[in-house]
Chains A and B, each alone.
Chain A
Amino acid sequence: MIVGIDLGTTNSLVAIWEESGPRLIPNSLGEFLTPSCVSIDEDGSVLVGKAARERLQTHPDRSASVFKRYMGSDRIVRLAKREFRAEELSALILRALKEDVEAFLVHSVTEAVITVPAYFSEAQRKATRAAGKLAGLHVERLLNEPTAAALAYGIHQRDAECRFLVFDLGGGTFDVSVLDLFEGVMEVRATTGDNFLGGEDFVGIINDLFLEANRIPPKLRKDSHFMQRLSAASETAKQQLSTTPSTSIRINYKGVEYKLNLTEQELERACAPLLARLRDPVERALRDSNIRPAELDSIVLAGGATRMSIVRRMVSRMFGRFPAADINPDEVVALGAAVQAGLKMKNAALNEVVMTDVAPYSLGVEVAMPMSDGSQSKGHFDPIIERNSVIPISRVSRYFPVKDGQKQLELNIYQGEARMVRDNIKLGSLTISLGSGTRDDNGVDVRFTYDVNGLLQVEAKTDKQHEPYTLVIEGNPGILSEAEIAERLIAIAALKIHPRDRLEYRTLLAKSERLYQQLLGQEREWLGKQILQFEHALESQDEKVILPAQKNIESTLEHIERHNHLQPMPDPIW
């Protein structure tokens, strides 16, 4: 069984393919969305999901979120004095999802299709694959998120002939893909995006508005308890502004009340620079696929941030019509991942469907450009594989040394669209020794091979040599080597995961603790007592005792939230 996983910036989901279609699998709390948060409990066990998200506010130094943004970098996150890389934190999320699906299927699962932002780079893709390995999952395929969304839509119209655009604004990344559907073929025509634009950035803007309006001093801005609480409140405000024209954020912290009233127009104005950034990738995807906006049959929304009304309005303005959101934008990517898993398993119900994807970036080498006077202009980029080429693809280009009698040729490999290599991303380099002779005698064939997972292999070969050089990207701190993965696998396996069957109670307790911190006076005392009672009931380990205590504390929390204007944690959060 191959499962489909949407490993998101804010939330993650797992789904499987069944005869009747893709199906989402609930976590131990009975929910499809598992917040991509990790927290280390006081006893050293790992909490994943909603409980960890509650603890972002009460235990910011023991909890982490939004780490998908650090994938492919060497950034370290410190939780309870232990250091984690983004791959490892992601692996903990994947492990929790794996356990959820195993509990549902009652057999073990070892293979997965994991989605990645289409615009993820080589290093980010490798990091995602490593995260799968660390979680004990063989990653059968890395699937681009907008392609997954398109699969989820396309599967319902496999006999249709249509063109559509997927507008995928997630928690941390933005992708646009243009697709052509014909004769059961789902062909991605073009993919573009922005790796650093998502719902979290809109929350950041609201945070800034709040900090400005209340003239919050720098000291408080560095207080992680305060900032986590603000982010949660801003998240709630962001969601409320999609359904109501105005809202207010209130935070009572250390005896001071801070407040901000915010209207949708104000939010729209403050977010104008972010909204403007949505435009370029859309235009580029359409231009690259040579399709005009009017020729699109529909615009499909994916990613939780597309629920925001200011985003939807922007989309409507750009295309002059309303986008489609027949499938829940939070779930559409995971459903598509399950469709791909079904395709991988060669499920009979899917044998008339086939999908092709493209390379989102151009890949090439640094060259010197000859000028008409015989001199050379350095640092130019020469693409070997053009962006939006259908993958898998393999291409060869021939290059010559700059000078006669040159001993070595350094091949610098880049990814990107800029004319000059300094504006592109360097992937690695390869040094090739040359034989004697003029530059014309020393041609080097460089072959780039790009596979369906979006991973690149580079080979270089001179006429005189038999075995080609193969690129080994060394010393890139963003990518773990096989040996490092093996080493970390052991360390990760040693981490104790909070027992799945008790996670529901643990989540309730985490939420109680958060509210307890936010309350004052008598109510705080009252809640304290209720928490103690609930903990006591839990110790009995007797379902008959626990169940009523659980009902009791749930209604207490609900009552407190309603009467104290303490925003419930947005649920599901985007």
Chain B
Amino acid sequence: MMKQIPNFLQRFDLDLNADERAIRRAYARELKLIDQATEAERFQEMREMYEAALYWARRQLAEQEDHEKEPISDSSEVDTTADLQVDTAQYENIPNPSEIVSAELSGSTRREEEIQFDIQNVESMSEAVFDDFQNRFHAIVAQKIDCDEKLLKAELDKSIHNSYMDNMDVREMFEGRIAALLLQGWKPGHEVLMVVAGNTFHWVDDRSRLQRFGRMGYILDQAFAERESFFQQSVENRETNRKAINRLRNAGRPGNSELIERLRAIEKMVEIYPHWMPIIVDLDQIQRWRDWSHEVPSWQRFSIRPLLWKINNALPRFKWITPWRIVWAILIIGRAIMSSGHH
């Protein structure tokens, strides 16, 4: 039985044996019959068919290559081709950026051995630059907890001007390394590194820049969008939330009422900033807070709980918290007085 020939191949009078070269030749032939200035629609229709055909041909080729490779595949290779599934809250599976770049390169027309040689070289160069940066970064963070933007920018610029970085592949891989570092979860200084790297690598002013890094880039892109939304809150809400974040970065256990109050803000932020929060705070610490909150005497905990499900309107919820908090504070004090009165 004959397989159906897709319309994007029919459009160019091609069959299922067509390769990229044949598709390009057919496209060139058709293109010369169209006046782009006056037949825009016809051009666009043909162009879309051409892009679909090219995509199809590249996939055919990739599948064929995968098929040929299969018998010799070992466990390390499985890693590179594994689906880059990353749960938004867990980042253990973040791939090495060099793997992403090399995966993309294998689709190009260059020969395999040649690529691998280049990659190794480029990789060791970017590794050297990255290690050097990381050392300096750690040194700053070790010196003082609040590492400021200017200081970090100067350090990152030092790496950017490293002579290894004249090579564009090295630069890209270094950029990927920084992105991967941020997604490994929060460590002191990462919140500043995110901003500095975002400006330096144009992750902020060029939406598509992060697309190069696949799933990893998508997460970072979302994180930047969420960060923008954070700054759109009213000043008071933002300050309340900022205080909660800062408190969370401090390892010590907050007092009961502060714990409950701040944790509420944190939980809320984890919900609306699922990509950004893991970069700027330690998820393990949130878990610790959750555990601690269970240690809080139940009457104190439950007296605060109802809040969470009462305010589940689509309206900006933060506005509600301030007046309610006062009411509950009064109630808590009242109960404390009552319970002390029992003794």
Contact = CB atoms under 8 A, between A and B. Distances in A.
Asked if A pairs with B, the answer is: yes
B289 interface: no
Interface in A218-243: none
A389 to B, nearest CB: 9
A373 B271 contact: yes
Contacts of B108: 290, 292, 295
A40 B224 CA distance: 53
A374 B314 contact: yes
B31 A352 contact: no
Nearest to B21: A182
A318 B272 contact: no
A451 B37 CA distance: 7
Contacts of A295: 108-110
B272 A371 contact: yes
Contact of A318 (B25, B44, B166): B166
B208 interface: yes
A25 B315 CA distance: 68
Interface string B130-157: 0000000000000000000000000000
B43 interface: yes
B52 to A, nearest CB: 13
Contacts of A141: 37
Nearest to B205: A418
Nearest to A418: B205
A409 interface: no
Contacts of A183: 24-25, 27-29
A419 B28 contact: no
Interface stretch (A199-207, A390-398, A563-571): A390-398
A476 interface: no
B99 interface: no
Nearest to A294: B118
A383 interface: yes
Interface string B90-125: 000000000000001100111000000010000000
Interface stretch (A103-111, A125-133, A279-287, A509-517): A279-287
A294 B117 CA distance: 13
B31 A317 contact: no
A419 B225 contact: yes
A468 B204 CA distance: 34
B171 interface: yes
A377 interface: yes
A418 B206 contact: yes
Contacts of B168: 282-283, 286, 292-293, 318
Contacts of A419: 204-205, 207, 221, 224-225, 228
Contacts of A293: 168-169
A392 B44 contact: yes
Nearest to A422: B228
B172 interface: yes
A294 B122 CA distance: 13
Given A372-B274, A375-B316, A392-B36, A184 B205 contact: no
B232 interface: yes
Given A287-B172, A287-B212, A423-B205, A377 B225 contact: yes
A492 interface: no
Most chain B CB neighbours (cut-off 10 Å) among A352, A371, A381, A419: A419
Contacts of A394: 40-41, 44
Interface in B27-59: 27-29, 31-32, 36-37, 40-41, 43-44, 47
Contacts, number: 121
B85 interface: no
A418 B225 CA distance: 11
Interface in B160-180: 166-169, 171-172
A320 B168 CA distance: 10
Contact of A284 (B206, B225, B315, B317): B206
A354 B207 contact: no
Nearest to B316: A375
B171 A283 contact: yes
B202 interface: yes
A267 interface: no
A356 interface: yes
B184 interface: no
Interface string B194-229: 000000001011111100100000000100111011
Interface in A267-290: 280, 282-284, 286-288, 290
A280 B200 CA distance: 11
Contacts of A420: 228
Interface residues of B, number: 50
Interface string A180-218: 001111000000000000000000000000000000000
Given A318-B166, A419-B204, A375 B314 contact: yes
A444 to B, nearest CB: 22
Contacts of A423: 204-205
Interface residues of A, number: 52
Given A287-B172, A394-B41, A419-B204, A184 B110 contact: no
A417 B204 CA distance: 9
A417 B205 CA distance: 6
Nearest to B318: A375
Contacts of B29: 183
A381 B168 CA distance: 29
A372 B271 contact: yes
Nearest to A383: B207
Given A317-B166, A375-B314, A419-B225, A452 B206 contact: no
A541 interface: no
Nearest to A388: B208
Interface string B247-291: 000000000000000000000100110100000000000000000
B69 to A, nearest CB: 22
Contacts of B209: 284, 287
Contacts of B205: 417-419, 423
A381 B228 CA distance: 12
Contact of B28 (A284, A354, A381, A390): A354
Contacts of B208: 288, 362, 386-387, 417
A378 interface: yes
B167 A184 contact: no
A52 B64 CA distance: 66
A185 B31 contact: yes
Most chain A CB neighbours (cut-off 10 Å) among B168, B171, B202: B168
A364 B214 CA distance: 23
A380 interface: yes
A465 interface: no
Contacts of B41: 394
A374 B315 CA distance: 8
Contact of B207 (A292, A352, A417, A452): A417
Contacts of A354: 28, 31-32
Most chain B CB neighbours (cut-off 10 Å) among A284, A375, A383: A375
A387 B32 CA distance: 24
A380 B227 CA distance: 12
Contacts of B37: 141, 392, 451-452
A286 B212 CA distance: 12
Nearest to B268: A373
Interface string A287-322: 110101111000000000000000000000110100
Nearest 3 interchain pairs by C-beta: A377-B229, A183-B28, A374-B314
Interface of A: 141, 182-185, 280, 282-284, 286-288, 290, 292-295, 317-318, 320, 351-352, 354, 356, 362, 369, 371-375, 377-381, 383, 386-387, 390-394, 417-420, 423, 449, 451-452
Given A183-B29, A387-B208, 7 more contacts: A183-B27, A293-B168, A295-B108, A362-B208, A369-B225, A375-B315, A419-B224
Interface of B: 24-25, 27-29, 31-32, 36-37, 40-41, 43-44, 47, 104-105, 108-110, 118, 166-169, 171-172, 202, 204-209, 212, 221, 224-226, 228-229, 232, 268, 271-272, 274, 313-317
9 contacts: A284-B209, A288-B208, A290-B108, A292-B168, A318-B166, A352-B32, A379-B228, A392-B37, A394-B44
